[in-house]
A = this chain, B = another copy of it.
Amino acid sequence: MGAESVQHLAEAIERMPLVDHHVHGMLPDPSEAALLAALTQAGHAAPPADVFDSAQGFALRRHCAPILGLAPFASPADYLAARRALEADEVARRLLRASGIAAYLVDDGHRPDLLMSDERMARLAAAPIHRVARLETIAEAVLAQCASGAEFVERLGPALDAAAAEAVAFKTVAAHRCGLELDPARPTNVDVRSAADAWFAEWRAHEASVGPAGSVDDAPHGGHAASVDDAPHAGHAASARPRLTDPTITRHLIWWALERGAVLQVHAGFGDADLVLEGSNPARMQALVAATAGTGGRIAFLHCYPYVREAGWLAHVFPHVFLDVGLAVGFLGANADSVVRESLDLAPFSRVLFSTDAWGVPERVLLGARLWRDAAGRVLGGYVTAHGWPVDEATRVAEGIAWRNAERVYRRRFVSR
């Protein structure tokens, strides 16, 4: 098994369509500040050097610069200038299409007001968009329209059903709200009603102190643009929306999604500083995962860094657990191999998925795809050369991660063939 086999594998991976099973929408015309903000998980306005002098920044200069007509590793200043010289749509078109992503599953739970329409993104990307409905966002929107906790409980079910009708999956950001260490028991109706009353009261008290929701406009999109999973620090206005942190209602939403046999995406591992890192460890959710094994629903842990090995174990011992290392691949750049490798330690290969978790800017889409192809080629290529894996078997494993596993878990055809 020599260099030629590895080359064949790399070429096969290069040609594979990808299903990005967790991504977000794109900003229509990001300012330079918005671009930089979208390239970090920092909540503060990170200086350009923090963004560019990093593993992700180096990968961006290497892989995105040529797509804008520059040499690899063009300087940050040249990159920004080249980006400005092109229309935003052209930048997006080039980068999105170069990713080779054949379908996107878009979570619209964070600042959809800032993002382009699905239609425009689909046209620029030349790929269809499917929707992932964020449970917390649905619950918050319902509460904002209710006059009591009881009304919330009454209206929640229909709102979830309506969202389900348009979505291929659900998503929870419990990691950002109450952490993943959740009581495994399905909450009773009484539990949910009581929690809804308390949340409603808290929200009403808050609203009284800051004025009604919508009475002030959102602060301009700031340095936290990449904080796609939550927005507590988006200023006064954002905090004037109800924010679900109650673990009982969160568990109710999780059970609801799983019991209807849906796929539930669970943010796990790093993200922005609004989550408590240790509380985002997927292993913290073990009891709830065990309790829901018989529901017919599936759980997809997203990202998982630095808890990839823990997530792989959950996929090994539970029949309904899947994982990806999407956000980590994009940020780790030259060390993306490490998480691609760890994701294959214990998880059955059919449980590993591909995502970019990009938000706002197409650079992150391209990087997620480009870095995954390269890392998968190196990791699986090493297994071919050092461990005798047949190239066609390694290719099959890669193809599963790239798109076939996503079609199986979501029970949809995403890739036309």
Quick check: A50 and B390 within 8 Å, CB to CB? Answer: no
Q: Is A306 an interface residue (CB 8 A)?
A: yes
**Is the pair B388, A317 in contact by a Cβ cutoff of 8 Å?**
no
Q: Knowing A345-B335, A346-B331 are in contact, say whether A46-B319 is a contact too (CB < 8 A).
A: yes
- In whole Å, how far is A263's beta carbon from the nearest beta carbon of chain B? 18
Tally of contact residues, A, Cβ under 8 A: 65
Chain B CB within 10 Å, residue with most, of A270, A331, A338: A270
**A49 beta carbon closer than 8 Å to chain B:** yes
Chain copies in complex: 3
B390 contacts A73, C-beta separation under 8 Å: yes
Let me know if B306 and A387 touch, CB within 8 A: no
Given the known inter-chain contacts A53-B397, A319-B46, A386-B334, please indicate yes or no for A286 contacting B276, CB distance below 8 A.
Answer: yes
- Interface centre among A58, A332, A397, by most chain B C-beta atoms within 10 angstroms, is A58
Task: Flag whether A256 is at the interface (Cβ < 8 A).
Answer: no
Q: For chain A, residues 336 to 375, give those with C-beta under 8 angstroms from any C-beta of chain B.
A: 338, 341-342, 344-350
Binds B, one of A23-31, A36-44, A149-157, A166-174: A36-44
Contact with B along A180-215 (1 / 0, CB 8 A): 000000000000000000000000000000000000
Provide the residues of chain B in CB contact with A44, threshold 8 Å.
293, 318-319
**B316–A62 CB distance below 8 A:** no
1/0 contact string of A384-399 vs chain B (CB within 8 Å): 0011111001000100
- Cβ of B389 and Cβ of A58 under 8 Å apart? yes
- Given A331-B346, A383-B334; A316-B40 close (CB under 8 Å): yes
**Chain A facing B: main interface SS:** helix
Asked if A277 is at the interface of the complex by the 8 Å CB criterion, the answer is yes
- The answer, yes or no, to whether A230 is at the interface (CB within 8 Å) is no
A55 within 8 A of B: yes
Tell me the residues in window 281-327 of chain A with beta carbons closer than 8 Å to chain B beta carbons: 281, 283-284, 286-287, 290, 293, 305-306, 309-310, 313, 316-319
A162 within 8 A of B: no
A49-81 at interface with B (beta carbon < 8 Å): 49-51, 53-55, 58-59, 62, 72-73
Contact (Cβ within 8 A) A318 B348: no
CB distance from A325 to the nearest CB of B (A): 12
How far does the alpha carbon of A287 sit from the alpha carbon of B274 in the complex, in Å?
A: 10
Task: Report chain B residues within 8 Å CB of A49.
Answer: 348, 350
User: With the chains together, A332 CA to B51 CA distance in Å?
Assistant: 30
Which residues from chain B contact A73 at a C-beta distance below 8 Å? 388-390, 393
Q: How many angstroms from the CA of A47 to the CA of B75 in the assembled complex?
A: 51
Chain B: minimal CB distance from A336 (Å)? 9
Residues on B with C-beta less than 8 A from A306 are 309-310, 313
A333 within 8 A of B: yes
Residues of chain B lying within 8 A (CB to CB) of residue A277: 283, 286, 310, 313
A118 interfacial contact with B, CB 8 Å: no
Q: Is the CB of B305 within 8 A of A348?
A: no
Q: Is the CB of B53 within 8 A of A350?
A: yes
Q: Within the complex, which residue of B272, B338, B378, B389 is in contact with A334, where a contact is CB–CB below 8 Å? A: B389
Known: A42-B316, A306-B310, A334-B383. 19 other contacts (CB 8 A): A43-B317, A46-B348, A51-B348, A53-B348, A53-B397, A53-B400, A54-B347, A55-B346, A58-B383, A58-B387, A58-B393, A62-B387, A72-B388, A270-B316, A273-B286, A277-B283, A277-B286, A278-B283, A334-B389
3 closest pairs, A vs B, by CB?
A306-B309, A273-B317, A50-B348
